[in-house]
Amino acid sequence: MLKLAQIPSNRFIISTLASVLLMGCSPAITNVPNESQVLKSNVFSIDSVPPLKSLVDFPVGVAVPADPYAHSLLISSERQEVVETHFNSLTAENIMKMMFLQPEPNKFAFTHADALVEYAHQKNMIMHGHALVWHTQSPKWMNDYQGSKDDFKALLKNHISTVAGHFAGKLASWDVVNEAFLDDGTASNPTKYRETIWYNNIGPEYLEMAFRLAREADSEVDLYYNDYNLVNNDSKIDRVVKMLEDFQQRNVPIDGIGFQVHIDTDTPSIKNIKEAFSKVVKRGVKVRVSELDIAVNQSEQYSELTEEVSTLQRQRYAEVVDAYMDVVPEHLRGGITLWGISDSDSWIPGFRKRADWPLLFNEKFQNKPALVGMAEGLTGQTPNPKTVEFDWFEYQGMDEIFSEPMPEGQYQNPVISGFFPDPSITRKGDDYYIAVSSFAYNPGVPILHSRDLVNWKLVGHALTNQKQLDLRGNQVSQGVYAPTIRYHDGLFYMITTAVYGGGNFFVTAEDPAGEWSEPYWLPEIGGIDPDIFFDDDGKVYIAHNDAPVGEPLYEGHRAIWMWEYDLAAKKVIKDSGRVIVNGGVDLAKQPIWIEAPHIYKIDGWYYLMCAEGGTADQHSEVVFRAKNINDPFIPYSGNPILTQRDLADDRINPITTAGHADLVQTPQGDWWAIFLATRAYDQRFYNTGRESFLLPVTWNNGWPHILEQGKAIPHRLPKPAINNSLDIDEKQTGNFIWRDEFDGQKLNVNWNTLRSFYSGWYELADGKMNITPAPIDLTSLKQPVFLSRRQQHMTYQVTTGLALPQSTDISAGLVAFQNEFYHYYLGVKKIGDGKFQLFLERTKDKNASEPRKIIKQVEISAKNDQQLVLEISGDKADISFAYQIADGEKITLAANLDGKILSTAIAQGFVGTMLGIHSRIESTDK
């Protein structure tokens, strides 16, 4: 009989020559790892990756299709070649599941499984059995079975004893029970067992029964509990470990936990994976990565596997395997099994209904970079084992206009400077809250708090997790558009649009600083800029911008729509949508981009305020009203009630693009408007994005006025008559210095990342910001390793102190970023011992014909432990770059370069320039 044994060094070997093996030597065995073969220090090239199994002393396996599948390994020579080269452990992907082995009551079908086991043994591979008990892929008769608890116990016993008995001595291990827990435990059912026929009819003791029966049938085989989401769901791994501890205490046989690890390139973090493995390691049982695959198209943005994504996948394979090697000690390594041979074999496309390429070999069975990553992980050569350490970051704003002493009783416009666009405001008691748009930056929708309307504190964000907001694959100016924030009946509402991320939705919170709820999606409502209005009769209305009825009459022809919303049922009332403004104030004049509606009821009138003219130089705010909400909204004859479009171009310190306003009333009864505008240099350029301004509202014959026509928005004016204030440690306007020593427990609220909420690449520890680079540069639509804050001044300086990167294939540094196509990166990388290259890279072309162009570089010498300070300083159209090593002199690398590429006029879009720290893997072919 074929026999399997494990020799004391824990190197597993199988052979038909059991007796030889048991003596501890292995002359006849091929492909057994040999220390000299283990290429620990080698760099792998894609065409010559050594057999994976030769790199480590634990099983490296793969799940395979077998007979009767058409692509069965047993009849596919190309699959055999890959399998026999790289793997020494096999799992039947399907044919040892319950429905295959016992297709009819008490009729067992072992022919195909036996053939696979036989093949494995002939090729000196071990076999893992998958799975004795599972809730899916069990035969229909079993699912339909009716009987008493004892009947079910007998059924379970018969299956396990027969199957495990049949394969006794032939398998290295079994998944005894697969997927017995649900993802979330609840207060009422903290263990949250999955309700399978076994659980429902036998109770939780079916688990223990299964393990005991398996042990009885095969005294040698390793017994595993196997499940998914154990590396990214703390509650689930904790429940599994609880079961394990209980088994251990009561001597229920169990040898290890199988982690399926069906993951993707975004989540979970390596930290999470390691924590999950360690929980099992602590219990002294084996850890098996039983079903590894790493999906890349989770955001469904790719129709083919790009080079960038391949590289990312390689990195991820290396890191995951590295995490396993790092946390699981040799004697507890049950092995790693890939869930499929080639991408064309993978279950992911069918299961997730999308294209994907999660495995190590492509559909032609050729090596993928992922295979290199796997080899790197197995040999401890993960390309970026090091992180980059940033010690501090400082931003200083020095605008001339802000530097004049502030006269007593006045306030500064903008009240919130930098990229805080499309503001919406609400009041609860004495507290005012503003929500602004955030496009593809995370967290989404900054929330600012004030008690006097002029000093604002950034207190949090409305959208703080991936469930609320998925912006993966979005361009910087896609993502979250203009929000409306309202306080109603004890609850705050924030309604907005995730363009390309699910459309319109709202979230609610008791405290606007967070947590906000999960989204209530509004699939009936198209377009952008939703407003939510609570009428005093209890009805709720959602107004928004969308296409007009029928074909648009001209470019920019839009309409404002309004729907009734059933708040109790959380449903848009069917067919209630109607156009309340077609085109704008006067359709005959072909007004463009009517948008940003807000509805108010004031003194018995329904007012509708909208932006008109587009968010650039023709921007304005207009108002309409109706006595009855179902009546037509009549435009005000004095429109626009706010604009700067008719002022002279050559005015000094111009404030431009004003519009997109929202009103708030103080408890004293005064009305104020918050709106967006920009501070331009050279007449029409601004890098600071659209900022939030405040002006008093006056009423004229029942119509609100924000600013007299032809008047320039004042930079300073008398404060609102409010005798209240808030402690604000981090100002959002005026000149200030903002410094992060990175000594907080969590990321300061001013920091942002792009697109995804994945945060595994940064960590605050011991007063440092540790960044793990990724092979993603700033032109990518994935999530680059980039932490940024807003450029809030025309004249600013930003500096950071970092430890010199200690690896030649990574870079790190400081970035001024407007979008994927327009940015500067001042980076440093190691080129030799004590030698570093400092480079300035510029991307400035919408068509990406000139991406990542190095425009300046110098070689510098520094001791490895010296700190490097990098500096970017901007002054309107100019941008300069400098550096300093330890206490040395500050040296200018490049002065007065073109800063206009960071302006909205050149770069386009709706955001402002962000300044921050970045790191990336420089060369991917090493």
Contacts to ligand XIL by CB under 6 A: 93-94, 178, 228, 260, 291, 347
Instruction: Give the integer Cα–Cα distance in Å for 685 and 906.
Output: 8
State in angstroms the smallest separation of the CB of 134 from ligand XIL.
7
Per-residue DSSP letter, 636: P
Answer whether 160's CB lies under 8 Å from 132's CB: yes
State in angstroms the smallest separation of the CB of 207 from ligand XIL.
16
Choose among 317, 474, 379, 347: nearest CA to 91: 347
- Cα-based distances in Å from 216 to 107, 164, 170: 21, 9, 15
3-state DSSP call for residue 84?
helix
Count how many residues are written for the chain.
Answer: 926
User: What's the gap between Cα 757 and its chain centre?
Assistant: 3
Q: What phi and psi values does residue 634 have, to the nearest 5 degrees?
A: -100, 130
3-state DSSP call for residue 504?
strand
Tell me the residue type at 527: G
Active site residue 595: yes
User: What's the gap between Cα 291 and its chain centre?
Assistant: 23
Q: Which is closer to ligand XIL, CB of 228 or CB of 824?
A: 228
State in angstroms the smallest separation of the CB of 355 from ligand XIL.
17
Answer whether 231's CB lies under 8 Å from 272's CB: yes
State in angstroms the smallest separation of the CB of 339 from ligand XIL.
6
Q: Which is closer to ligand XIL, CB of 62 or CB of 543?
A: 62
Q: Which is closer to ligand XIL, CB of 262 or CB of 558?
A: 262
**Identified catalytic residue from 422, 529, 621, 691:** 422
State in angstroms the smallest separation of the CB of 343 from ligand XIL.
13
Answer whether 789's CB lies under 8 Å from 658's CB: no
Q: Which residue has the tokens 């396990």?
A: 160
- Cα-based distances in Å from 137 to 38, 140, 251, 712: 40, 9, 30, 72
Do the strands 716-718 and 737-740 form a parallel or antiparallel pair, or are they unpaired? unpaired
Q: Which is closer to ligand XIL, CB of 96 or CB of 776?
A: 96
Q: Which is closer to ligand XIL, CB of 1 or CB of 70?
A: 70
Q: Which is closer to ligand XIL, CB of 180 or CB of 305?
A: 180
Q: Which is closer to ligand XIL, CB of 69 or CB of 487?
A: 69
State in angstroms the smallest separation of the CB of 431 from ligand XIL.
49
Burial class (CB in 10 A: 0-12, 13-18, 19+), 286: buried
Answer whether 715's CB lies under 8 Å from 412's CB: yes
**Identified catalytic residue from 179, 326, 531, 595:** 595
State in angstroms the smallest separation of the CB of 225 from ligand XIL.
12
Instruction: Give the integer Cα–Cα distance in Å for 806 and 363.
Output: 38
Q: Which is closer to ligand XIL, CB of 230 or CB of 371?
A: 230
Choose among 853, 854, 897: nearest CA to 876: 897
State in angstroms the smallest separation of the CB of 51 from ligand XIL.
24
Q: Which residue has the tokens 């011991």?
A: 766
Answer whether 797's CB lies under 8 Å from 804's CB: no
Residue nearest to ligand XIL (CB): 347
User: Where in the sequence numbering do the catalytic residues fall?
Assistant: 422, 595
